[in-house]
Amino acid sequence: MANLYGKENVEIAWCPGCGNFGIRNIVMNALTELAIPKENLVFVSGIGQAAKAPQYYNTSYFNGLHGRSLPPAAAIKAANPLLKVIVESGDGDMYGEGGNHFIHAIRRNSDITVIVHNNMVYGLTKGQASPTSRPGFTTPVQVDGVFENPLNPAALAIALDASFVARASAGEQEKSKEIIKAAINHKGFALVDIFSACVSFNKVNTHRWFKENTYIIEEGYDPKNKPEAFKKSLEEGPWPLGILYVNDNKPVFEEKLAPYLNKDNTPLYIRKREAGTVMDILNTKI
């Protein structure tokens, strides 16, 4: 099947062997199989090596400030509910600088897909500890090793009742593609935390390390059982890969907004408004 989303003659600024290449292939293959028209698709990212990903897809994207990918993504979806909105960023950008937005985007339950490249290090700034770095991990800044407990994004998301939570790995191409397809098709906030090796600045959590420290969730697992999902999210060494939690009953943010309460999903920018109606609204505020 021809890949509809690859960009030709583009210079990719990732190190040879970077896990981001594998995630790029996974995302492009997932989009191709879903056959989403490019004009109906928007990527949003913040800052970081992973956040460069949308620049290497043949589609529209918005590149925001460090840690600020989620607010514009929610705004884009609210302004045009007909678009598929996908956020792609790294663990530092999403869980560090963007941690506050991450929490409240989950509460809001915007209909967006969030793919987080989790390499347990800040790669763009050359190797500081990120919120998901493991205890004992040494860097030029944390010379005695990380001593804080790492953030568990899947457990946090389930605790906040995110409507879709999954964990994937760049080294599991087929499984991760199916997870991302399910996330994109899900209605509501969908998190895919995907392990990805940084070959230049994290010599501990390598491709091999992620392979040896993960397993694919067994068949028959019920992702709608929240207590079991939370227990599953806390497993580590090995970490489970798959769809951890799904809540299909959580109201979606955009559907609760006034312009869409009558089930009319017409994008705001093409709606017609009479000047008299606007004046009536303004007069009620005076």
Query: How would DSSP label each residue in 56-103?
Result: GBSSEEEE-STT-SHHHHHHHHHH-TTSEEEEEEEHIIIIIITHHHHH
The residue among 278 and 72 whose pLDDT is bigger is 72
**Is it the case that residue 1 has pLDDT exceeding 70?**
no
Instruction: Tell me what pLDDT residue 2 has.
Output: 60
- pLDDT(123) > 90: yes
> Which two structure tokens, joined as six digits, stand for 16?
């040879």
Residue 281 has pLDDT above 90, yes or no: no
For residues 213 and 234, is the Cβ–Cβ distance under 8 A?
no
Q: What is the pTM of this model?
A: 0.94
Pick from 76, 34, 246: nearest CA to 157: 246
b/e per residue, 116-152, with b = 16+ CB within 10 A?
bbbbbbbbbeebbbbbbbbeebebeebeeebeeebbb
Higher pLDDT, residue 27 or 9: 27
Q: pLDDT tier at 9 (50, 70, 90 boundaries)?
A: confident
Length of the chain, in residues: 286
Confidence of residue 247 (pLDDT cuts 50, 70, 90): very high
In which band, very low, low, confident or very high, does the pLDDT at 280 lie, cut at 50, 70 and 90?
confident
Mean of pLDDT values over 208-223: 97
Residues 104-113 have pLDDT tens digits of 999 999 999 9
And the tokens for 72? Answer: 């514009």
> What are φ and ψ of residue 153, in 5° steps?
-65, -35
The pLDDT score that the predictor gives to residue 254 is 95
Residue with tokens 């995630």: 23
Task: Provide mean pLDDT across the span 207-219.
Answer: 97
